[in-house]
Amino acid sequence: MNETDNLIGRRGLMLVLSSPSGAGKTSIARRLLEEDAALEMSVSATTRKRRPGEVEGQDYHFVDRDSFHIMINNREFLEYARVFDHYYGTPEGAVMTALDSGRDVLFDIDWQGTQQIADAKREDLVSVFILPPSTRDLEHRLTKRAQDSAEVVAARMAKASDEISHYREYDYIIVNQDIDVSVTSVKAILTAERLKRDRQVGLTNFVKRLRAGQ
Ligand X SMILES: Nc1nc2c(ncn2[C@@H]2O[C@H](COP(=O)(O)OP(=O)(O)OP(=O)(O)O)[C@@H](O)[C@H]2O)c(=O)[nH]1
Residues lying near ligand X in the complex (CB under 6 A): 21-22, 25-26, 44, 48, 79, 81, 83, 88-90, 108-110, 112-113
DSSP 8-state code for residue 167: G
Q: Is 26 in the site for Mg ion (CB under 5 A)?
A: yes
Residue 109 touches which of ligand X, Mg ion, none (Cβ within 5-8 Å per kind): ligand X
Q: Is 27 in the site for Mg ion (CB under 5 A)?
A: no
Return the number of the residue (21 or 200) whose C-beta is nearest Mg ion.
21
Is 174 exposed, middle or buried (CB count within 10 Å of its CB: 0-12, 13-18, 19+)?
buried
Asked if 109 and 16 count as a contact pair (C-beta separation under 8 A), the reply is yes
Applying CB under 5 A, the site for Mg ion has a residue count of 1
Distance CA 34, CA 197 (A): 27
Residue 88 touches which of Mg ion, ligand X, none (Cβ within 5-8 Å per kind): ligand X
Closest CA relative to residue 75, chosen from 12, 120, 112, 41: 120
Residue 132 touches which of ligand X, Mg ion, none (Cβ within 5-8 Å per kind): none
Return the number of the residue (69 or 145) whose C-beta is nearest Mg ion.
145
Is 88 exposed, middle or buried (CB count within 10 Å of its CB: 0-12, 13-18, 19+)?
buried
26-34, 143-151, 159-167, 193-201 -> range binding Mg ion (CB under 5 A): 26-34
Closest CA relative to residue 175, chosen from 19, 15, 16: 19
Return the number of the residue (1 or 152) whose C-beta is nearest Mg ion.
152
Residue 89 touches which of ligand X, Mg ion, none (Cβ within 5-8 Å per kind): ligand X
Distance CA 140, CA 133 (A): 12
Give residues in contact with Mg ion (CB under 5 A). Answer: 26
